[in-house]
Every structure is written in C-alpha cells, then in structure tokens.
C-alpha cells in the first residue's frame, strides 16, 4: 500500500503516439515516439527564439498484443510521465504507457476523443 501523498506524486498524462517500431532483436519491445504537447525554447541561427515540440521516447513491452506496430500510430493513450528515465536494450525510455492485462484480454488505457495530448489526470 502507498499513501495518498505518495500517489499524488505520479504524473499521468495523455500522449499521442506519433510513431511505433519494433526494437530489433526483441520479441516484446516497441519504441514509441509520443507527443505530450510539450515544447522547449531554442534559438534559431538568426538569434530569434523559437518554440520546438518535444517528443518523448517510450520503450514498451506490448509487441505481443499488436502484430503491426502501425496500429498504434495516431492513438492517444495514458502514460506515466514522471518516472526516472530507464535504459532498456540500450534505448532510453522516458515514461510508461498504461494498460490492463487479464487472462482474457489486453487493453491500452485510452481517453475519449476530446482529450488532447498533454492533458493531465487529476
């Protein structure tokens, strides 16, 4: 059991999967590129400030449930976004996709269509 105060530390956000590919030499892993509507300021060559979108890489062991990783592209799913980055098969994972697995099925946690990437659970 964890306390409510510990649970409040978990950051859950909606993210749109922009790309998905199988991690080579693995049976279970996909590399996902996910949009959480985050931007970072950068400086262009001419010195002007520009805002660039940040994409996070998520390494996930869900390949057994999706024979074609392209089935994930375009889906908005829920992710834990404040985990410490973790190296998995030499790739940095910057979060965790949320899913439910039972003896009879598997489901990604997907918000309804009106929830935009970057929306946080409260």
Domains parsed from the chain with CATH numbers: 4-108 (2.40.50.140)
Distance CA 78, CA 17 (A): 10
DSSP 71: G
Q: pTM, whole model, 2 decimals?
A: 0.88
To 5 degrees, how large is the angle CA 14–CA 22–CA 79?
15
Sign of the alpha-carbon dihedral angle for 43, 36, 81, 26? negative
| 16-55 residue pLDDT tens | 999 999 999 999 999 999 999 988 888 888 888 888 888 9
DSSP 64: G
| 66-122 residue pLDDT tens | 999 999 999 999 999 999 999 999 999 999 999 999 999 899 999 998 999 999 987
Distance CA 93, CA 88 (A): 7
């Amino acid at each position: 059991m964890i306390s409510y105060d510990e649970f409040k530390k978990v950051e859950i956000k909606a993210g749109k999967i922009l790309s998905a590919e199988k991690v080579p030499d693995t049976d279970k892993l996909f590399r996902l590129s996910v949009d959480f509507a985050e931007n970072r300021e950068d400086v262009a060559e001419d010195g002007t400030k520009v805002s660039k979108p940040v994409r996070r890489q998520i390494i996930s062991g869900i390949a057994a449930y999706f024979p074609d990783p392209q089935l994930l592209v375009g889906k908005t799913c829920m992710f834990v976004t404040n985990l410490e980055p973790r190296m998995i098969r030499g790739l940095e994972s910057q979060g965790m996709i949320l899913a439910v697995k039972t003896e009879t099925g598997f489901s990604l946690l997907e918000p309804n269509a009106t929830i935009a990437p970057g929306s946080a659970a409260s």
